[in-house]
A and B are shown apart, each in its own frame.
Chain A
Amino acid sequence: QKEVEQNSGPLSVPEGAIASLNCTYSDRGSQSFFWYRQYSGKSPELIMSIYSNGDKEDGRFTAQLNKASQYVSLLIRDSQPSDSATYLCAVNEGGGGGFKTIFGAGTRLFVKA
């Protein structure tokens, strides 16, 4: 079973700070990488996807991918209390006829007002 590893946290940052969330994956053939946010008692919602090496920015969120190091990260700038949630890293493995999504266990983020 290929793995996706995340620090479970909790990660605590003050309001307005940058939150940095990290994820490593074991399958070198992985093609697509996602960050989902999951509030307590709710279902995951996609906040970022990234497919090629480098940075991808969307508002306060920046995803970073380094395929050589098998590492993907999410930066949240100007963190808000509403960003407090569990952040799930997900990796699509496979190819050809199809793929399978593997999720990490998630990192709990607390943003203190």
Chain B
Amino acid sequence: EAGVAQSPRYKIIEKRQSVAFWCNPISGHATLYWYQQILGQGPKLLIQFQNNGVVDDSQLPKDRFSAERLKGVDSTLKIQPAKLEDSAVYLCASSLASSLAGDTQYFGPGTRLTVL
């Protein structure tokens, strides 16, 4: 079974530029998550989708971050404009269903973003 795919793996941009990340979850997984992990911290949930609907985006900085999950499969996360503090690893994860609180999340390899 193929895992969660993410691209690009690394991205370096200057502040005020825009950037987009892509995620393809495990086939058949209804729920998709985007996390931000700053060095030395645990992952912080940015947004959670179930199929193509948003379940939680309470920690997404909506003035600069946006995300979509068209057709309930792939997802993109965009930052526009980027700030220095956005430098982090952006992790995508997927799980079979969100109605089960014990559902296992599988993480992709992450995209390491550096904002100069």
Question: Which residues of A are at the interface with B, using a C-beta cutoff of 8 A?
Answer: 4, 8, 31-32, 42-46, 49, 51, 88, 90, 92, 94-95, 97-106
Contact = CB atoms under 8 A, between A and B. Distances in A.
A88 B91 CA distance: 14
Contacts of A92: 101-102
Contacts, number: 57
B44 A103 contact: yes
B107 interface: yes
Contacts of A103: 35, 42-44
Given A43-B91, A101-B105, A106-B41, 5 more contacts: A46-B106, A90-B42, A103-B35, A103-B42, A105-B40
A31 B110 contact: no
Determine the main DSSP class of B at the interface with A.
loop
B101 A88 contact: no
Contact of B42 (A43, A51, A97, A105): A105
23 contacts: A31-B101, A43-B109, A43-B110, A44-B91, A46-B104, A51-B102, A88-B42, A88-B43, A92-B101, A92-B102, A95-B101, A98-B99, A100-B48, A100-B56, A100-B58, A101-B105, A103-B35, A103-B42, A103-B44, A104-B42, A105-B40, A105-B41, A106-B42
B56 A43 contact: no
B25 interface: no
A32 B104 CA distance: 10
